[in-house]
């Protein structure tokens, strides 16, 4: 039931603080200051390579996880979309961990990829939202998200719950690999525990995002830029916008702009920039300024400090709370979801049932 919400998508966006908290409850032990996975029958410290495979939004969650696993646990990660992975005859060394991410647990290509990896001697991990699904049943290591049923075709709450589980897995892997002290783990646990409040804070800017939707709705093309884990978030923002508003949108790694896409920039192309303050901030802002210098209209998404430093001359800003890098992608998901939602409502499209799309893609 939609309750007081106009669409399932909006309801599901607003459920995120609660369902992320629910999901984290199975993975975080705040009193012990530890992150814990369900009983595992293998030794995480022996994992030499992780392969992550998924489709669509779930693939972008996997792309965020690649940054985390490599940065925090120093484990090499292969990442691919399932439809490519399953046919390109990937080479896999036995004993690796292959991780499949899926809301439905039934996506045909992802399931076929899982079976390929099984044949190739991998340990099969699955991050799924439907506990009775095929992927859940076939996994050695089941890492459930507890998002509850997701009705809107555009995935929102399942995605942030996937990120929560992957943050927990990254932390576990880092500990197993000797890359994390007990104090550092305790600190991460505190940050993870604060994630639901940070999501609420991000939701509190909904009214402002709604007001700026008419600035984006007339556009024919929109670009999203980000660096590091915010690059996949740029891809996710663009996917959300195209799915439900039918506006052509592309996500780019901010540093790739000058290798081609900057030729598209004029004052008719809004550019959404995701730039949390932190080590990559200055780099992203300088890419943003290159766009500004060519007349591009910027929407800057950042925390207070970032907005204070770089809002000069931008068309609009969206504030999000300042958070730890393991929480940031969850928090940045909220404004890109809300922006896509309000633009679609402004355009009058069918938000919950966009044309040509199915909730679960069970044919290849």
> Which residues are designated catalytic?
359
Which residue's CB is nearer to ligand M6R, number 289 or number 349?
Answer: 349
Residue 100 CB, nearest approach to ligand M6R (Å): 9
Is residue 141 within 8 A of residue 123, CB to CB? The reply is: yes
For residue 167, give the DSSP letter: H
Which residue's CB is nearer to ligand M6R, number 102 or number 287?
Answer: 102
Is residue 275 within 8 A of residue 231, CB to CB? The reply is: no
**SS3 call for 327:** coil
Cα–Cα dist 280/282, whole Å: 6
Which residue's CB is nearer to ligand M6R, number 107 or number 172?
Answer: 107
Binding positions for ligand M6R, rule: CB under 6 A:
55-58, 102-104, 107, 110, 153-155, 239, 243, 360-361
Residue 39 CB, nearest approach to ligand M6R (Å): 25
Give residue number: closest CB to ligand M6R.
56
Residue 342 CB, nearest approach to ligand M6R (Å): 16
Which residue's CB is nearer to ligand M6R, number 102 or number 284?
Answer: 102
Residue 61 CB, nearest approach to ligand M6R (Å): 9
**SS3 call for 236:** helix
Which residue's CB is nearer to ligand M6R, number 241 or number 320?
Answer: 241
Contacts of residues 142-146 at CB distance under 8 Å and 24 or more positions apart, as own/partner, are 142/38, 143/37, 143/38, 143/169, 144/23, 144/26, 145/23, 145/103, 146/19, 146/22, 146/23, 146/25, 146/26
Token readout for 117 is: 């990896």
Residue 153 CB, nearest approach to ligand M6R (Å): 5
Residue 70 CB, nearest approach to ligand M6R (Å): 23
- The closest of 352, 358, 345, 351 to 213, measured between CA atoms, is 345
Contacts with 306 (C-beta within 8 Å, 6 or more apart), sequence order: 275, 276, 277, 281, 300
Cα–Cα dist 295/315, whole Å: 11
**SS3 call for 206:** helix
The helix (H) or strand (E) run that includes residue 50 is strand 50-54
Cα–Cα dist 166/10, whole Å: 24
Residue 65 CB, nearest approach to ligand M6R (Å): 14
**SS3 call for 311:** coil
Token readout for 263 is: 């030729």
Which residue's CB is nearer to ligand M6R, number 53 or number 299?
Answer: 53
Which residue's CB is nearer to ligand M6R, number 15 or number 243?
Answer: 243
Q: What is the rounded (10 degree) CA torsion for 115, 121, 125, 131? A: 40
């Amino acid at each position: 039931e939609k309750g007081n919400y106009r669409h399932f998508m909006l309801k599901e966006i607003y459920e995120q603080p609660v369902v992320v908290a629910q999901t984290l409850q199975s993975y975080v032990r705040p009193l012990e200051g530890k992150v814990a996975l369900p009983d595992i029958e293998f030794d995480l410290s022996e994992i030499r390579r992780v392969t992550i495979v998924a489709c669509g939004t779930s693939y972008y969650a996997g792309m965020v996880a690649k940054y985390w696993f490599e940065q925090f646990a120093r484990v090499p990660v292969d990442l691919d979309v399932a439809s490519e992975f399953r046919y390109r005859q990937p080479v896999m060394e036995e004993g690796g961990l292959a991780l499949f991410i899926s809301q439905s647990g039934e996506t045909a290509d992802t399931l076929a990829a899982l079976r390929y990896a099984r044949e190739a001697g991998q340990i099969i991990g699955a991050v799924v939202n439907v506990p009775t699904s095929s992927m859940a049943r076939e996994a050695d290591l089941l890492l459930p998200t507890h998002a509850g049923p997701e009705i809107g075709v555009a995935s929102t709450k399942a995605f942030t719950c996937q990120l929560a589980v992957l943050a927990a897995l990254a932390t576990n892997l880092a500990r197993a690999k000797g890359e994390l002290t007990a104090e550092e783990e305790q600190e991460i646990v505190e940050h993870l525990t604060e994630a639901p409040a940070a999501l609420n804070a991000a939701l509190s800017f909904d009214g402002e995002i709604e007001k700026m939707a008419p600035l984006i709705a007339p556009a024919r093309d929109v670009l999203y830029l980000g660096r590091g884990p915010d690059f996949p978030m740029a891809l996710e923002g663009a996917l959300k916008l195209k799915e439900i508003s039918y506006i052509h949108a592309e996500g780019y790694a901010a540093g790739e702009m000058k290798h081609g896409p900057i030729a598209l920039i004029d004052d008719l192309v809004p550019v959404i920039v995701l730039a949390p303050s932190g080590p990559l901030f200055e780099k992203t802002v300088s890419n943003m300024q290159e766009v500004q210098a060519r007349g591009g209209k910027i929407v800057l998404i950042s925390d207070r400090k970032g907005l204070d430093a770089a809002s000069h001359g931008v068309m609009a800003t969206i504030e999000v709370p300042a958070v730890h890098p393991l929480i940031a992608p969850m928090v940045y998901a909220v404004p890109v979801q809300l922006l896509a939602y309000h633009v679609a409502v402004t355009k009058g499209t069918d938000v919950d049932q966009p044309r040509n799309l199915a909730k679960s893609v069970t044919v290849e």
